[in-house]
Amino acid sequence: MTHLVRIEDLVVDYASGDGSVRALDGAELAIGAGETVGIVGESGSGKSTLGAAVGGLLPGAATVARGSVVVADHEVNTLRPNELRALRRERLGYIFQEPIGSLDPTMRIGKQVALALPGSGRRADVLTHLERVRLADPARVAKAYPHQLSGGMAQRVAIAMAMAREPEILIADEPTAALDSQIRAEVLDVIFTLAAEIGTTILWLSHDLPAVAKRCRRVVVMYGGRVVESGSAHAVLDMPWHPYTSALVRAVPGAVAEGERLVSIKGQPPVLTGAAEGCAFAPRCPDALSTCSVDRPPVVSVHERDVLCHLAGQQVGVSR
């Protein structure tokens, strides 16, 4: 299988006041065309950094210390600025958490959508694109300024713009986190339906495990800047092999039967300043062996699932 996105041994550091923070610590990921992928993990696990790295959108404070990001056969880290802009324009779409912030406050919506379209962006095309994201009264929306829209409407406009050129890959960084729960499902429906119609691959960075299980074929679990488990969303979330995935699943309300206590993951996720010595999850892992805090775990691949755990070989076929 040729991969649309291939990330190998990616290490990204952020310069900060007290030194540097390692956000990605040897992340590995390969994604095929047309996949729907949910990337999950606690805050600080590196999801946003990974998503930004795919489009060469890392902020100025970030340095790629090692590794490669190949998107549609282009090594993103070595592209010239104009090549990178072309890659983003032609092949990538981004949706962020704060829809209003991603729109220009001084420009009417219609004009902004027209600018996102290929060619001259005629009025009829603008209205068609606003209809595609199921906005009622597109003519009125086109005349509005961003501050006149609700959060859900603004996110639909942002989706229309991100999908205007029918991108090969859509990177959606917690696109519904700022919305009410009912609107969330509607916005996710719009994203996933449109992407399926166009054939766009989705990379959805999310905290919402049940929604990922429902909508994505594949799940990627991140911890301490590495992908610790990936595979079919149903298989991984129904029967996690990595102790971290297992803890994450048990921390979801609804994952436990009525009357049972919700298990929170004890301890805090790490803030790395360099390479983790062993497994970054070892200090919080109930099953850690002595080797876990000193040796970095290798990737174990079994039944189309990749697991980064010293125990993985023993977990095959075993529900945790």
DSSP secondary structure code for residue 239 in this structure: S
The size of the chain, in residues, is 320
First CA to last CA distance, the chain: 31
**Rounded Cα distance, 168 and 241, in Å:** 31
**Rounded Cα distance, 240 and 251, in Å:** 13
Nearest by Cα to 309 from 288, 290, 161: 288
Binding site for ligand ATP (CB under 6 A): 14, 16, 21, 23, 41, 43-49, 59, 61, 271
**Rounded Cα distance, 50 and 46, in Å:** 6
Indicate the residue among 14 and 145 with the shorter CB distance to ligand ATP.
Answer: 14
Q: How far is the CB of 220 from ligand ATP (least distance, A)?
A: 12
Query: Which are the contacts of 299, defined by CB distance < 8 A and separation ≥ 6?
Result: 28, 306, 307, 308
Q: How far is the CB of 95 from ligand ATP (least distance, A)?
A: 14
**Rounded Cα distance, 144 and 314, in Å:** 58
Q: How far is the CB of 175 from ligand ATP (least distance, A)?
A: 12
**Rounded Cα distance, 194 and 303, in Å:** 31
**Rounded Cα distance, 115 and 123, in Å:** 11
Other Cβ atoms within 10 Å of 156 Cβ, number: 24
**Cβ atoms of 82 and 254 closer than 8 Å:** no
Q: How far is the CB of 225 from ligand ATP (least distance, A)?
A: 7
Nearest by Cα to 281 from 310, 311, 227, 244: 244
Indicate the residue among 50 and 309 with the shorter CB distance to ligand ATP.
Answer: 50
Q: Helix axis angle, 109-116 relative to 151-163, nearest 10°?
A: 20
Q: How far is the CB of 273 from ligand ATP (least distance, A)?
A: 10
Q: How far is the CB of 113 from ligand ATP (least distance, A)?
A: 27
Q: How far is the CB of 69 from ligand ATP (least distance, A)?
A: 14
Q: How far is the CB of 177 from ligand ATP (least distance, A)?
A: 9
DSSP letter string over 141-196? HHHS-GGGS-HHHHHHHHHHHHHTT--SEEEEESTTTTS-HHHHHHHHHHHHHHHH
Joined together, the tokens standing for residue 88 give 């983003």
